[in-house]
Chains A and B, each alone.
Chain A
């Protein structure tokens, strides 16, 4: 469904991405593992249309090129991004954030239906629907960010470090919710530092290092991979 190849991205002279090639199949959950500065966020931003990649990059989604589309048009093709730091509208209410989630043309007619799913997934948001988002906890704000992205009826949901800064018990809840989203048939592309959690819900994974993809495999093989264990899973519980 998503085919990325030859994706390079420079910030001045610094190469954030170097000929990256990844693929996400329909309904597939793919995780990208890598240290800070490996270019994982840049990859999601390039796909989402927030950062323009270098010339020669190819980003195809359902046979359509996204390379020259601005972010608001990429969303219309069915790709939603939950950015690092969540990017919610803190000065607006939960309900307003969700309503804006369905601002895209593809989503407007189905807003009520999408909202029902989001509230079923995150019942807490229904209780807090008229609360201003910047008065909520980090975990709740992450629910708003994911709920808002789901309102646009994406076929591919991208999440950039969704567990960052959340308490362990909240992270568990978060990944259970992501598992339920996956069951709905959405494809997920997740950049995550919590390797064990993300591999547990993933089908496949890529290893990223200094802007390059250095390895890939099924979630199971990566979990058992010596190098991965050493780099990401060693010592930590």
Chain B
């Protein structure tokens, strides 16, 4: 039972980590607190559903469509909605308030479109829903694949941010936005790309979720909340922090559900969140970028 719980905890945690990495880029680099983030995740889940059930393209191959779509959506939304807010913002705090209000509106626009298109029913599809034996226990292949995808995308993002000059420039904007122009970084451009990459990660997260969970047009807010908790736990703008914190949260939730009481899962989540906010407000891992 321990191995089973640990594995499903890691699957859930990998998903949390994946979606949180996108939010931490959007919040940490672009300074946009995107409340419509969960809706971007669910949109991608529906897109994966459509291209799998409608066109027979499996969700993993479909990532070649969904991730670029998420990136493009983020890029356009930043240009249309966020850029004017950034241009008129007097300081970081006023941009934060404006972006929270604007994305709060965007949340309902996207949700409305999804409701009209797909209805309010629970949606799911069958993909690789077969048992695989691992460490003496049975796991659904799609769950295992979800974990592998989350770790692969997370690893690729980590390499992009730490091993390339462009990624290092993004981290520089996260840690010292005022100094970035001194080395020739166009902060607005960096913010736009960070927001777009966040959109790509939200899409990847949505696809992974759709592979093993049921979802509805209104389940986005849960993912925004979970992602936000993971982002705060990992430290804003800290990708490795988000990856670790996501895995921890997934495992803790699953253990509480398995060994204590499933009804206490959310309580445990918010308990951790409050503890982090009170005692380690800059995150569990200290350093802000990396």
Query: A27 near B: Cβ within 8 Å?
Result: no
B57 to chain A, nearest CB (A): 39
Give CA–CA (A132, B286) in the complex, Å: 13
User: Which one of B168, B175, B176, B181 lies within 8 Å of A71 (CB-CB)?
Assistant: B181
Q: Which residues of A lie under 8 Å from residue B288 when comparing CB positions?
A: 91
- Contact A92–B289 (Cβ < 8 Å): yes
User: Which one of A80, A81, A99 lies within 8 Å of B168 (CB-CB)?
Assistant: A99
Query: B260 near A: Cβ within 8 Å?
Result: no
- Contact A87–B178 (Cβ < 8 Å): yes
- Are A76 and B184 CB-contacts (below 8 A) given A91-B287, A92-B289? yes
- Are A100 and B176 CB-contacts (below 8 A) given A92-B289, A152-B183? no
Q: Which residues of B lie under 8 Å from residue A91 when comparing CB positions?
A: 171, 175-176, 287-290
What is the total number of residues of chain B having a CB less than 8 Å from a CB of chain A? Answer: 21
User: Which one of B168, B182, B185 lies within 8 Å of A96 (CB-CB)?
Assistant: B168
Give CA–CA (A26, B257) in the complex, Å: 71
User: Which one of B169, B178, B289 lies within 8 Å of A100 (CB-CB)?
Assistant: B169
User: Which one of A72, A87, A101, A108 lies within 8 Å of B186 (CB-CB)?
Assistant: A72
A95 to chain B, nearest CB (A): 10
Query: B2 near A: Cβ within 8 Å?
Result: no
User: Which one of B169, B171, B178 lies within 8 Å of A103 (CB-CB)?
Assistant: B169
Query: A66 near B: Cβ within 8 Å?
Result: no
Q: Which residues of A lie under 8 Å from residue B186 when comparing CB positions?
A: 70, 72
Query: A90 near B: Cβ within 8 Å?
Result: yes
Q: Which residues of B lie under 8 Å from residue A76 when comparing CB positions?
A: 184
Over the window 252-290 of chain B, the binary record of Cβ atoms lying under 8 Å from chain A Cβ atoms (1 yes, 0 no) is 000000000000000000000000000000000001111
Query: A49 near B: Cβ within 8 Å?
Result: yes
A126 to chain B, nearest CB (A): 19
- Contact B175–A80 (Cβ < 8 Å): no
- Contact A80–B181 (Cβ < 8 Å): no
- Contact B181–A100 (Cβ < 8 Å): no
A235 to chain B, nearest CB (A): 36
- Contact B183–A92 (Cβ < 8 Å): no
Over the window 59-90 of chain A, the binary record of Cβ atoms lying under 8 Å from chain B Cβ atoms (1 yes, 0 no) is 00000000000111001100011010001111
B285 to chain A, nearest CB (A): 12
> B residues 174-193 with Cβ under 8 Å of A?
175-176, 178-187
Query: A136 near B: Cβ within 8 Å?
Result: no
Query: B165 near A: Cβ within 8 Å?
Result: yes
A96 and chain B: residue at smallest CB distance: B168
Give CA–CA (A104, B180) in the complex, Å: 11
- Contact A50–B181 (Cβ < 8 Å): yes
Give CA–CA (A107, B182) in the complex, Å: 13
Over the window 40-71 of chain A, the binary record of Cβ atoms lying under 8 Å from chain B Cβ atoms (1 yes, 0 no) is 00000000111000000000000000000011
Query: A148 near B: Cβ within 8 Å?
Result: yes
A201 to chain B, nearest CB (A): 23
Give CA–CA (A103, B184) in the complex, Å: 6
A108 and chain B: residue at smallest CB distance: B165
- Which 10 residue pairs of A and B lie closest in terms of their CB atoms, listed nearest first? A104-B184, A71-B181, A87-B179, A91-B175, A75-B184, A72-B181, A100-B183, A72-B186, A72-B184, A91-B289
Extra 12 A-B pairs, beta carbons < 8 Å, given A96-B168, A103-B184, A104-B183: A70-B181, A70-B186, A71-B182, A72-B186, A75-B183, A80-B182, A81-B182, A83-B179, A83-B182, A91-B287, A100-B168, A103-B169
